[in-house]
Amino acid sequence: MNNSIYNQLLSKEAKLAVVGLGYVGLPIALEFARKIKVVGFDINADRVALMQKGIDPSNELESNDFLGCDITFTTSLDDLKDVNFFVVAVPTPIDDANLPNLKPLLSASQTVGKVLKKGDYVVFESTVYPGCTEEDCIPVLEEISGLKFKDDFKVGYSPERINPGDKEHTLQNVVKVVSGCCEVSLDEIAKTYELVVSAGVHRAASIKVAEAAKIIENTQRDVNIALINELSIIFNKLKINTFDVLEAAGTKWNFLKFSPGLVGGHCIGVDPYYLTHKAQQAGYHSKVITSGRYVNDSMGFYIGKQTVKKIIAQGKHIQDAKVLVMGATFKEDVSDIRNSKVIDVVNELKSFQVHVDVIDPHASSEEMIHEYGIGLVTQTGNDYDAIIVAVNHKEFISKNEDDFKQLLKDQKGVFVDVKGIFKNQFKDLEYWSL
Ligand SMILES: NC(=O)c1ccc[n+]([C@@H]2O[C@H](COP(=O)([O-])OP(=O)(O)OC[C@H]3O[C@@H](n4cnc5c(N)ncnc54)[C@H](O)[C@@H]3O)[C@@H](O)[C@H]2O)c1
């Protein structure tokens, strides 16, 4: 038997498994399955049942994307026993105290540990702090399998860069960072990923470097957005439109184009906490990163409060006010509501006894109730005092001032345009944006 894992995969003598088939795992599993033999493993039987029917439970892929793939979807450990290359793509969330919750990752490491054999490869894709793969995951693999890291099995780390809802930056056309635990493993892992990433791979100097690279990509974005959010609070006080300022400043060649907004989801708003946690363990109390987190985490409450002020300024009694919040997901044109900061806007309004309706054509009301105790309306009224366009879903941004006026009491009221999409388009409504 050829001892290059890459050659074995290519000749289908060996199988690759993806453990965790969510936003990250499913696309990579299907892409590999066009070239090599793949097992798609997940602990969620309902999701696996959908994938077996060619349906992506995360609503990102079409049924066509499942065609021509050599893949078995399973929840059974038995199906992993003859696998030689494992890719782990399970969630890495934070807990209520904003600390890393490694439970899914350690549990997936146990799963792999149970079926690990001499000569196998494990590549982690979940976003983690530098050191997590070697300090937290590999000991579990060794303990459960009874095998020795490097001597018996190899490990790598390859972070994911896909962006839900983004059809332009895909797995195939964005360079992927890969790393290994030695020169040979790096080469094998790099060649394996090159099978599916046409843009090519970047061979990182070590596993820790690859982990750190991913975490700073999102931390950099978070801190930059926080700066712009803070500027928008300042400009609001100075009665200057932030988007006008950004447009003007953006004409300079090296001005970075970030815009204010709610920072939700399970990447940008979460990953920096992994880094600050590790920094703290290393004896450094991060200030810039945590300040950015503080500002971004406060924006939902800020938007809620500004809306209340505008309603009161119109001479309304706030406890009788009705507000329509348009959009509940963490970003535009996706169905994912996890860690959506729109909920902070809603809760802030409710804390003033305002009646709030939330509408979202992409999100599920059951999931909203389950996650936040807030259901969605399917029918909007025509007596709102304010409208907040919180998420730029295509269904919302195609509307104009007249459409929104139909929803407001006496066709008058406050219009909050969180992302500044309708700037300079309204003449009658009390317009406000970040
Ligand atoms: N979603 C993104 O845009 C994105 C982008 C880059 C990186 N990431 C990172 O990739 C990782 C995965 O994120 P995601 O968005 O795909 O998550 P997800 O929640 O969409 O999917 C995770 C899947 O893993 C399964 N799972 C959970 N525990 C498991 C276990 N122990 N064994 C097997 N399966 C298990 C779940 O049932 C689910 O199907 C995270 O670390 C995330 O930070 C995500």
Predicted pLDDT of residue 39? 98
**Do 196 and 250 have their domain in common?**
no
Beta carbons within 8 Å of 243's beta carbon, 6+ residues apart = 259, 420, 423, 433
Pocket perturbation via mutation, ligand 1, pick of 19, 21, 23, 217 by most ligand atoms within 8 A of CB: 23
**Do 78 and 33 have their domain in common?**
yes
**Do 252 and 201 have their domain in common?**
no
**Do 104 and 170 have their domain in common?**
yes
**Do 127 and 253 have their domain in common?**
no
Please determine, for residue 193, whether its predicted confidence score (pLDDT) is greater than 70: yes
Residue 42 near ligand 1, beta carbon < 6 Å:
yes
User: Considering the domain boundaries, does residue 219 fall inside one?
Assistant: no
User: Considering the domain boundaries, does residue 90 fall inside one?
Assistant: yes
Q: Whose CA is nearest to atom 41 of ligand 1?
A: 126
Give the Å distance between the CA of 23 and the centre of ligand 1. 6
**Do 194 and 261 have their domain in common?**
no
Please determine, for residue 3, whether its predicted confidence score (pLDDT) is greater than 90: no
- Tell me the per-residue pLDDT of 208-267, one tens digit each, with 9 for 90 and over: 999 999 999 999 999 999 999 999 999 999 999 999 999 999 999 999 999 999 999 889
- If pLDDT is split at 50, 70 and 90, which confidence band does 163 have? confident
Altogether, the residues listed in the chain come to a count of 434
User: Considering the domain boundaries, does residue 233 fall inside one?
Assistant: no
Residue 307 near ligand 1, beta carbon < 6 Å:
no
pTM value is: 0.94
Q: Whose CA is nearest to atom 25 of ligand 1?
A: 20
Q: Is 357 helix (H, G, I), strand (E, B) or coil?
A: strand
Q: What is the mean pLDDT of residues 314-341?
A: 95
User: Considering the domain boundaries, does residue 229 fall inside one?
Assistant: no
Residue 20 is part of which domain span? 5-205
Q: Is 431 helix (H, G, I), strand (E, B) or coil?
A: strand
Tokens 């919750």 label which residue?
101
Predicted pLDDT of residue 74? 98
**Do 278 and 368 have their domain in common?**
yes
Selected residue with higher pLDDT from 425 and 164: 425
User: Considering the domain boundaries, does residue 257 fall inside one?
Assistant: yes
Percent of the chain with pLDDT strictly greater than 70:
100
Report the distance separating Cα 134 and Cα 157, nearest Å: 10
Closest-lying ligand 1 atom to the alpha carbon of residue 108: 31
Q: Please, are residues 8 and 40 in contact by the beta-carbon 8 Å criterion?
A: no
Residue 363 backbone dihedrals phi, psi, to 5 degrees: -90, 160
Query: How many independent structural domains does the chain possess?
Result: 2
Report the distance separating Cα 354 and Cα 376, nearest Å: 16
Predicted pLDDT of residue 167? 83
User: How far from 5 is each of 9, 20, 86, 142, 192, CA to CA, in Å?
Assistant: 6, 22, 11, 20, 9
Q: What is the mean pLDDT of residues 66-75?
A: 97
Residue 24 near ligand 1, beta carbon < 6 Å:
yes
Q: Whose CA is nearest to atom 7 of ligand 1?
A: 160
**CATH for 188:** 3.40.50.720
User: Considering the domain boundaries, does residue 211 fall inside one?
Assistant: no
**Do 67 and 162 have their domain in common?**
yes
Query: End of a domain among 205, 225, 252?
Result: 205
Give the Å distance between the CA of 20 and the centre of ligand 1. 6
Query: End of a domain among 149, 178, 205?
Result: 205
**Do 184 and 250 have their domain in common?**
no
Pocket perturbation via mutation, ligand 1, pick of 140, 160, 268 by most ligand atoms within 8 A of CB: 160
What distance lies between CA 329 and its chain's CA centroid? 11
**Do 130 and 29 have their domain in common?**
yes
Residue 218 near ligand 1, beta carbon < 6 Å:
no
Q: Whose CA is nearest to atom 44 of ligand 1?
A: 24
Q: In the predicted model, what is the mean pLDDT of the chain?
A: 96
Q: Whose CA is nearest to atom 30 of ligand 1?
A: 108
Q: Please, are residues 296 and 228 in contact by the beta-carbon 8 Å criterion?
A: no
**Do 405 and 334 have their domain in common?**
yes
Predicted pLDDT of residue 2? 66
User: Considering the domain boundaries, does residue 11 fall inside one?
Assistant: yes
**Do 191 and 292 have their domain in common?**
no
User: Considering the domain boundaries, does residue 236 fall inside one?
Assistant: no
Residue 115 near ligand 1, beta carbon < 6 Å:
no
* Tokens representing residue 20 in the block: 């965790």
Query: Quick check: is 182 catalytic?
Result: no
Percent of the chain with pLDDT strictly greater than 90:
95
Residue 109 near ligand 1, beta carbon < 6 Å:
no
Query: End of a domain among 159, 179, 205?
Result: 205
Q: What is the mean pLDDT of residues 142-171?
A: 93
